[in-house]
Structure 1
């Protein structure tokens, strides 16, 4: 296969899965999500494809797809060497389009679309290099890696020279950590046992099965009813025992004082963290919650919906998070995620990526391997999220062994969806969706009949 020189076409698909039928992914804020992904395919003149995606909960996915489609003029026809030799400048170009930027800037729909396109570019680059993305990032010279990043608005916290120095400092021992990852993998926690819509019996069954598979880290959704959360916490602790790690996630539903009071009531069950306790944009609110809960041994985790590197900078400056939860698609793709990982390393805050969804586990595993091997050098209080649905639909599903992600070896970012699955679940005319409409389980606008 010849090495491609330029991008010749870009295709955008709206792929959705009816996960709301079984309450998979349900939480206090999102009670019936249909896990979905705007899906990008980049064609090249060398017959090599770049695949990228972002993530939504169903409705609105078509808006992100439209936004991604409007970016074609800055992608199609571009020479790959021009992009990859100065990727930081290219990323700045596509995020600072003077008109497109207005409906962001660097946040929301435009940034979700940016992530899908940028992730596809990195997938293409890694395939060209014949390496999985994590390995390409681990092997890249510090100066070349830093040249891929945009330090706009964050140089008061992290400069390019500092980033290069940080990478060089860890490089002397990175081979040892890489060998460790290849042997034992990266620790993960499971959310699949603790969705808010699950019955007590299902929670018990799933948590028991997870322990038999080697999991020792768990997360439970909270936030609808305090007494119900206390009851479910007691069930969880009884099943997993007193020593395994247990976290909780409120998905933004509380005010600041509500979060403090609620988590004080749950403190006897020893949660490691409370995730997204309030509005994801309220940096000072998170700081106040952290100040109140840290003496109880409860940290604050957030970042799943943190809009950009600038907000992460402020969260870190304000001591508003103890666990940095980067998302592979909420930020503007690989370039921006790496800047946040480097900032977190400087502040000595563990990176614990958010995952689940469609392809998010497949994406974030690369960041965890990179973070440990190249940046942090520590596994203390570090773990990455895992949810066990929507993996068989992937061309290269994550490999899990004894509660750890094992490093993938195939070239690329590895977020491709099986072609037959793409065809069946492309919204709204895929065969799976037509069948659901015919059965009356969904309306054409993908609302349930009983909503």
Structure 2
């Protein structure tokens, strides 16, 4: 634990996914899945890897924010950090000058996530455990000491969090064995990106069904008749008993969301994800109330800034499904706060994981949630997309549409050096070749 951080490197790494319209939705038709990728070096020769997810342009802004915050890590030992992880989290998020460009939101918070993800990765590597196992093995007192309860104590106190974790100790070993044997249930978003043709959608659904998938998400929100056709197609393919999810990616106003989803209700979606602005808590509450008689829940969280907004969503009964994100919130520390609040309010957590590296990271959090906190799989599932895993040293393993718990030490953040070199923006080989071809 006496590993002193002596260097912080950050890279702008981008993948040209827009060329095949992977990740396309009603608000983001041409995403290039990207990351601000962090490597911590210690004086003992250990490394910690972290990242935050972006969509291409703008990654350089997050890289600058990482560089601005990195001085707060240099010279610290891992022991310094984890012995007062709540204090270190607050140090990064409450710098008296840099917090002005947040606080705890936007590019500066994405940078915080990248750095803290690297710290958690380093801690897990030093302990010789995958991150989910590190978390499962921490005592309730140690877990709670990582959480900043400032601004959320009216919804969840430190003592209440301790009580929830202590109550979940019963059966924890059995749940861990269950996850090791069966894995955590997943749903796929890879079949129905908005830019895919009907032929492509049909082929991908056929393949997914053959591979055991039973939960499917379709992107909606660009044009109602087109949505009706695509939802009818996918519902006919998957049959009446499998789960269909819909995602509008913030496309609609509140009234428009209610009208649009009323038209799509015959296809029986379990939820509509991000129906309106991710900041509109009362709008989500109004949509939730209107769609409840139709049996449609509301899901959101991938662009929810921080634990305070999640607190208000839960207090307002504005979400029926909480979608944490491993890189939007302030790393594991803040995700622990949201997991604890969701459990107190009895709202299932179904993480967001579309994007480079997000599946690798968030699998650890949802495994911890089930084993050490929620002890429930009812209406719970973790998103999966099948793109770009080959660029990681410890890629996700899916079997029978379930995430199998990672075995390698760390937070599964490490990219292959060859992938970083090839996709470094703008001079990596992939981008240089595209530029030479006039495609970028």
Q: Shorter-normalised TM-score: what interval?
A: over 0.9
CA shift at 1:431, angstroms? 1.0
Partner of 2:9: 11
Partner of 2:391: 393
Partner of 1:297: 295
Mapped to 2, the partners of 1:256 and 1:90 lie a distance apart of 39
Find the residue that maps to 1:156 and give its secondary structure: coil
Partner of 1:198: 196
Mapped to 1, the partners of 2:229 and 2:71 lie a distance apart of 54
Partner of 1:417: 415
1:44-55 paired onto structure 2 within 5 Å: 44-55=42-53
1:157-199 CA-to-partner distances (Å, cap 9, x unmatched) read 1111111111111112111111100010000000000100000
Mapped to 2, the partners of 1:243 and 1:4 lie a distance apart of 54
TM-score (norm 1): 0.97
* Structure 1 residue 134 corresponds to structure 2 residue 109: no
* Range with bigger deviation, 182-191 or 71-80: 71-80
Partner of 1:92: 90
Preserved CA contact (<8 Å) 2:3 2:46: no
Mapped to 1, the partners of 2:77 and 2:136 lie a distance apart of 25
1:71-90 paired onto structure 2 within 5 Å: 71-90=69-88
Mapped to 2, the partners of 1:277 and 1:351 lie a distance apart of 18
1:191-226 CA-to-partner distances (Å, cap 9, x unmatched) read 000100000011010011011111100000000000
Given the alignment, which residue of 422, 429, 437 partners 2:435? 437
Mapped to 1, the partners of 2:70 and 2:156 lie a distance apart of 32
Mapped to 1, the partners of 2:83 and 2:158 lie a distance apart of 16
Residue-pair matches, total: 440
Find the residue that maps to 1:88 and give its secondary structure: helix
Partner of 2:60: 62
Find the residue that maps to 1:145 and give its secondary structure: helix
TM-score (norm 2): 0.99
Mapped to 2, the partners of 1:5 and 1:177 lie a distance apart of 33
Partner of 1:327: 325
Aligned structure 1 segments of 4 or more residues deviating by more than 3 angstroms: none
CA shift at 1:5, angstroms? 2.1
Partner of 1:150: 148
1:309-350 CA-to-partner distances (Å, cap 9, x unmatched) read 000000000000000000111111110011000000000100
Given the alignment, which residue of 94, 105, 108 partners 1:107? 105
Partner of 2:344: 346
Given the alignment, which residue of 267, 271, 281 partners 1:269? 267
Preserved CA contact (<8 Å) 1:132 1:409: yes
Superposition RMSD on alpha carbons, in Å? 0.6
CA shift at 1:4, angstroms? 4.7
Mapped to 1, the partners of 2:77 and 2:384 lie a distance apart of 36
* Structure 1 residue 167 corresponds to structure 2 residue 165: yes
Consecutive unaligned residues in structure 1, runs of 5 or more:
443-451
Find the residue that maps to 1:272 and give its secondary structure: strand
Find the residue that maps to 1:300 and give its secondary structure: strand
Consecutive unaligned residues in structure 2, runs of 5 or more:
none
Mapped to 2, the partners of 1:393 and 1:156 lie a distance apart of 42
